[in-house]
Structure formats: C-alpha cells, structure tokens
C-alpha cells in the first residue's frame, strides 16, 4: 500500500483530501494540519518555508511517504520550489489557484480570484497569471481579491465571521470586476468550505472553480496508478499541531470521517 503525506496550514486541505480519497482508493493518507501556525497567508516567506520543510522531513522519517501533496496554496506558492530542491527523490504535488481551468471554461473571459494575500503576492502566482493573460487563445482578465481573515474564520468554524467576510470580499471583487464576470477561482483550499455562502452572494451566473480534483488526478499520475483499485479500508491518519479536536470535528463535518485526530509536535 502506498502512503501519501498531505499537509496544509490547517483544516482547509481537507477539501483536497476529500478529492484524493475519491480518486485513490486503497492509498494510505497521512494528513497534517499545521494549525498552531495558521494562517500561512499572513506569515513570512521564511516562516512558511521552515514549517513546510519540518513537516515534510517528519512525514518522510516517520511514515516513509511515497509522495507529498502540499494542500495549501500559500505554501505551494512560497515553499514548493525549495521543498523539491531539498527532496529531489520525492514526488511533490502542489496546489495552485485554478486559473487554467477557469480560463478554459469562462465565456466572458472575466475571472475573479479569491485568495490569500501571500498567494496573490507570490512570484509563482504572478508568472501563472501573466502566462495565461499573454498566451490564452483569446484575451483573459483576472480580477484578484485578497481575503484577509477568511481562512482563519473557516479554520475556527466561525460562521458569522465567514458570512461577514464573504460579503465584504464579494462586494470588493464586484466593485472592480466587469458586470459580465462569469467565473470565480477559489484560490485557497479553505474556501471550498465557504462555497455555499460565496455561491449565494455571487449568484447563479457565476461558476466557482477549485483545484481538488485536478490535484488528485496529478497525484495518481505521479504514483503511476493509472487504474487504482481497492477501497478506503484504511482511514487517513489525521494530525494537528494545534487543537486535534478541531481537526476531528472538521473531518467529521466535511468528509464524514470518524477518524480521531492526534496531536503532533513538530
């Protein structure tokens, strides 16, 4: 049985784990929520790189993982290159705001992006955005909105704060977006868990796009599992550097996983 490590700044990466469980039955997953240091989007590049390296090394040494999924947009943007340089023998899959899928499906070519400030300010995001705006078959325009505090509100399961922040950021996005914006990218793995509120605010004419399924397919490819067999007989290992009870509740609420999370000191 292959083992895949998955980590995020907190519970948001459970949206990616959900897709991985569906795409790769029979694979053992070890999920680390670095909740003691969340949210990553408001930390420095050096802090994020250090946390990413510590968690990756621990997963390799303790669980001997066959691949790693960096289920955090900010960590992907700011730390995945250094991780790949330090661990060249380990397949590492990152998550990026789904700009490519959005550009492929948008009819109006006006696409909103909701993400953390760390992701939007990263060189990696800038390269992807510029590449698509300059090379798409028809012009595409991305309207980017940083969402300070939203990942943290989702992390804490603070529904009133989530609603207030969603209203604030959707209003700000619409203020700068053309009226025919038809697609919005959820550029943080936490945000799919606020998708209902965002969809209601944006209306039925705006499609929401996230990266979970694409990441799961890419992970299957790097594991060379073209036709994975089996069932999820082995529940994922859930670990948190913060409050494990919060991770347990989130996994039960969003993934219907009865697995009890454990505390991790790393």
Whole-angstrom distance, CA of residue 74 vs CA of residue 121: 10
Cα–Cα dist 45/78, whole Å: 6
- Catalytic pick among 72, 144, 147, 166: 72
What are the φ and ψ backbone dihedral angles of 7, each rounded to 5 degrees? -140, 150
Residue 206 and residue 54: Cα distance in Å, rounded? 39
Distance from the Cα of residue 210 to its chain's centroid = 8
Integer Cα distance of 189 and 14 in angstroms: 8
- 207-210: long-range pairs with CB below 8 Å, 24+: 207/105, 207/106, 207/182, 207/183, 208/183, 208/184, 209/98, 209/101, 209/102, 209/105, 209/183, 209/184, 209/185, 210/15, 210/98, 210/185, 210/186
d(CA 230, CA 49): 35
**How many CA atoms lie less than 13 Å away from 198 in the CB half-sphere?**
30
68 in Cβ contact with 93 (< 8 Å): yes
Give the SS3 label for residue 257.
coil
Residues 240, 142: Cα–Cα separation, whole Å: 35
Tell me the C-alpha distance between 207 and 25, whole Å: 29
147 is catalytic: no
Catalytic member of 144, 147, 166, 188: 188
- Active site amino acids: 72, 188
């Amino acid at each position: 049985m292959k083992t895949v490590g998955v980590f995020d700044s907190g519970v948001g990466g459970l949206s990616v784990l959900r897709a991985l469980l569906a795409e790769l039955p029979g694979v053992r997953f070890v999920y680390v929520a670095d909740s003691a240091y969340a949210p990553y989007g408001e930390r420095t590049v050096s802090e994020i790189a250090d946390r990413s390296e510590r968690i990756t090394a621990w997963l390799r040494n303790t669980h001997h993982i066959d691949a790693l999924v960096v289920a955090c947009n900010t960590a992907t943007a700011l730390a995945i290159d250094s991780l790949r340089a330090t661990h060249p023998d380990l397949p590492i899959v990152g998550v990026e705001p789904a700009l490519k899928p959005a550009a492929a499906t948008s009819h109006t070519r006006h696409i909103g992006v909701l993400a953390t400030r760390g992701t939007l300010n990263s060189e990696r995001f800038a390269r992807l955005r510029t590449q698509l705006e300059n090379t798409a078959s028809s012009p595409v325009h991305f309207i980017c909105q940083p969402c300070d505090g939203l990942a943290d509100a989702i992390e804490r399961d603070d529904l009133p704060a989530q609603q207030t922040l969603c209203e604030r950021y959707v209003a700000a996005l619409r203020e700068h977006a053309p009226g025919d914006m038809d697609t919005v990218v959820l550029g943080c793995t936490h945000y799919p868990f606020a998708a209902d509120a965002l969809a209601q605010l944006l209306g039925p004419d705006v499609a929401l796009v996230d990266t979970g399924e694409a990441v799961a397919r890419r992970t299957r490819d790097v594991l060379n599992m073209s036709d994975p067999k089996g069932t999820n007989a082995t529940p994922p290992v859930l670990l948190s550097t913060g409050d494990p009870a919060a991770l347990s509740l989130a996994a039960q609420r969003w993934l219907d996983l009865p697995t009890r999370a454990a505390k991790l000191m790393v």
